A and B are shown apart, each in its own frame.
Chain A
Amino acid sequence: MSTNQSNRRVVVTGMGWITPLGHDIDGVWKRLLNAESGMGPTTRFDARTFPTNFCAEVRDYSIDRFVKDASVHASAGLNSQFALGAACQAWKQSGLEGFGGLDRKRVGLYLGAGEGVLDFDNYAAANLAGWNAADRKVDGVSWAGTAHQVLERMCEVEQEPNMPLAHLAREFGIRGPALNCLTACAASTQAIGEAYSLIQRGDADVMISGGTHTMIHVLGVTGFNRLTALSTSKGDPTKASRPFDATRDGFVMGEGSGMIVLESLEHALARGATPLAEVGGYGSSADAFRITDIHPEGRGGAASMHMALAQAGIDPLARRTDGRAAIDYISAHGTGTKENDSIETRGVKRVFG
């Protein structure tokens, strides 16, 4: 049913990532091919007694080697820091930094960035200082008294989920449409799809898109532990994440950022850039089923795959002339939770038979 309203083609001209396996495309790619793992004991806070005390942390990272002037980003939270590193790599690879003809009002941003990290120790201190055990309420006035002393202005502002946009805009002088979506695990895929749609519509020629997030903090791990979504495997953390395996027992939290530069093909070719790939189609849907459960037949997932394939003009059941399947690789969510992997498999089967 989706109809392409323009024939404007959209290509990828740059990419970058900050991950638990490293901070550059080539190095991390090699480690992925070597089946290395970024998992290890949680060090960001004392998680020793938590049901899950391991995760995949970004290590030894600093924005200094990526940005032009780190002092401009002195207040950046961890999610903005990851975003800056990833976007600088993508921007550099795209060659746009040295392109004199760039109209910055035609450059936009669409991120799927998560909220920043709560200043937990000080927040907890304010909460406990204001706690009135007798009526089981926090007293607003004494909470405010402590909070005013211990919570810092920019640290609080940086928790707003649109702050990575502000940092990237500052770094690259971006003045076009800028949006952030926050749809949990779907966020950066949606961001890329909507960025593609903005370029197709003619609202921008270039968009930086991707996502950045960390929930490796006390309340993040608490929240997912309470939902019993995290692996509680004992022993080697590198063996805890087991997508699609019959013995899987939950996901393992990672953190980081991935960014790409999207560009209209016309704009890329006119400046002599080499497209790395093309965005062929995009789909989005809602399960509209339950708060905690995915639709048992993978209805929503299948619907968005159908939409993306239709827009790309690909029949998922067709074979190419050389006999190969229509789609070569499916990058599944594959979280390793009992529920997700079996339902996701059902959704994929609904589409590909």
Chain B
Amino acid sequence: MSRRRVVITGLGPVSAHGLGIDPLWSALCEGRSALAPIRAFDARGFRAACGAELPESFDVRELVPKSYRKATKVMARDIEIAVGGALHAVTDAGLRTRGTDPDAAPTVAPDRVGCQIGAGLIAADLDELTAALATARDGDGRFDAAQWGQQGMQELTPLWLLKYLPNMLACHVTIIHDCQGPSNTITCNEASSGLSIAESQRVIERGAADVCLSGGADTKLNPMAYLRQELAGRLALCTIDENPATKIKPFDPSSSGALVGEGGGILVLEAEDTAKARGARIHARLSGTGASQSWCDDTVGLVPDPSGESLADAIEAALRDAGVTAAEIDAVIPYGCGVPALDALEANALARVFGDALPSKPIVTLAPSIGATVAGFGTIAVSVAVKCLAEQRLPARLNSADTGRLAASAAPSEARALRHVLVCTPSLGGQNSAVVVSRYE
């Protein structure tokens, strides 16, 4: 039985270069980095004081219908990213929804629209929570549960919890755009977006929806979330006085770690048959996905399976799913965050898959430009893959010098014939994801 084909009709990446694919693509091709001192909080007490934040002009209130503005008060930043990305994606796909045009009939019936959005562990706003905690202190200034239960907790807004549940990304997006089909929230760290995109593919294939808003969003620029990145060994050493733009060197063993970037966004995935029937502009084909779990003695630790075997399994599963051989892959977008152990894992995985052909596979590195985008990565990377295929061009690479057998060292943007691009990532926790995006022919 032939499988229902899935295509990409809308792009809504959100990154430190701004909303949508255009500012991101220009910056990547021109080799600009958005890494800068962190504005969100004073990060000088951490290993790294720099990251890639959304532009100051980003204002979620401008990205929701007027009637929904009040609800932006209960959106954590991660939710704002998903909401902004969703508006861009549905607009790019030429879809009318309750969110873009509340008075017109939607292009696709709401019960045929699904929503799968990956999310990170969202940390509470420290100022808001601590203002409440500070009202419940004992004589020594320590938190006092008795006072908190009696009175202190009343300081928190009644909807406080709803800002931080990971499924609130999909909750807001489905309400705004009236997506009543299958909906889910996948929380697998760096693999979240890729696994969500794969789930949307399955939902469309099995006929449970015709369109899915799919993607993921994350920000670690909150002291608690940021500390977890540091404790997990993810951050490069980068003081506020150093130039962060030259710090991140994916696949170069001299790299000292990663700097985090906010971002992610939403893609519109659609069944090819219904996309064609409505005359949609088809950007690319989502031709295959794969997933696997790492296993090694330190699976529950910080660097799962350094051999890269399990990431290679996920990539090979995606190639089989796409009906594409390793030789047919024209470019690869790995996580490539600059943490040496993770980069080595990915390099080993790619060597297993591509063998001697590895040096001829150009690698696209995003982290020096937009930081490590964690749960948002797969959405941004797939958007970039789509653009590479559309423009028949590779973006510039920054910073890396010695990348061994990987074609990942610094290089300007170049024109290139591309048919199939692979996106892949391992994760803290060991889930691996791979996605093959193909030129629509």
Is the pair B299, A166 in contact by a Cβ cutoff of 8 Å? yes
Is the pair A170, B130 in contact by a Cβ cutoff of 8 Å? no
Is the pair A138, B227 in contact by a Cβ cutoff of 8 Å? no
**B residues in contact with A188, CB < 8 Å:** none
Residue of A6, A76, A287 contacting most chain B CB atoms (<10 Å) = A287
Residue of B184, B206, B299 contacting most chain A CB atoms (<10 Å) = B184
Cα–Cα, bound, A133→B137 (Å): 13
- Residue A5 CB within 8 A of the other chain: yes
- Residue B161 CB within 8 A of the other chain: yes
| A5 touching B1 in the complex, CB below 8 Å, given contacts A161-B121, A227-B159 | yes
A42-50, A272-280, A339-347 - the one binding chain B: A42-50
Q: Please report which residues of chain B, range 173-215, place their CB below 8 angstroms from some CB of chain A when the two chains form the complex.
A: 174-175, 177-189, 195, 199, 202, 205-208
- Residue B417 CB within 8 A of the other chain: no
Picked from A49, A142, A224, the residue with its CB within 8 Å of the CB of B145 is A49
Chain A nearest CB from B97 CB (Å) reads: 10
Residue of A73, A137, A184, A286 contacting most chain B CB atoms (<10 Å) = A286
**B residues in contact with A324, CB < 8 Å:** none
| A180 touching B188 in the complex, CB below 8 Å, given contacts A1-B207, A125-B142, A141-B42 | yes
Chain A nearest CB from B171 CB (Å) reads: 6
- Residue A65 CB within 8 A of the other chain: no
Is the pair A143, B223 in contact by a Cβ cutoff of 8 Å? yes
Is the pair B227, A285 in contact by a Cβ cutoff of 8 Å? no
Is the pair A127, B129 in contact by a Cβ cutoff of 8 Å? yes
B88-96, B408-416, B428-436 - the one binding chain A: B428-436
Chain A residues with a Cβ closer than 8 Å to the other chain, count: 100
**B residues in contact with A292, CB < 8 Å:** 159, 162
Is the pair A49, B150 in contact by a Cβ cutoff of 8 Å? yes
Is the pair A2, B207 in contact by a Cβ cutoff of 8 Å? yes
Is the pair B228, A169 in contact by a Cβ cutoff of 8 Å? no
| A141 touching B44 in the complex, CB below 8 Å, given contacts A136-B131, A175-B292, A288-B110 | yes
- Residue B357 CB within 8 A of the other chain: no
A-B contact count (CB 8 A): 292
Chain A nearest CB from B421 CB (Å) reads: 22
Is the pair A179, B158 in contact by a Cβ cutoff of 8 Å? no
A32-40, A101-109, A260-268 - the one binding chain B: A101-109
Cα–Cα, bound, A177→B147 (Å): 46
Task: Mark each residue of chain B from 102 to 120: 1 if its CB lies under 8 Å from any CB of chain A, else 0.
Answer: 0000000011101100010
Picked from B143, B175, B184, B429, the residue with its CB within 8 Å of the CB of A162 is B429
Is the pair B127, A138 in contact by a Cβ cutoff of 8 Å? yes
8 more contacts with CB within 8 A, not counting A180-B188, A291-B162, are A49-B147, A140-B44, A141-B45, A142-B45, A143-B223, A162-B187, A175-B313, A288-B175
6 cross-chain pairs, A with B, having the tightest CB-CB distances, nearest first: A144-B45, A223-B161, A140-B42, A49-B149, A178-B293, A50-B149
- Interface residues, chain A, CB within 8 Å of chain B? 1-6, 45-51, 53, 72-73, 75-76, 104-105, 108-109, 115, 121, 123-125, 127-128, 130-131, 133, 136-145, 147-148, 151, 153, 156-157, 159-163, 165-167, 169-170, 173-184, 190, 194, 197-198, 200-201, 203, 218-219, 222-228, 283-292, 299-300, 303, 307
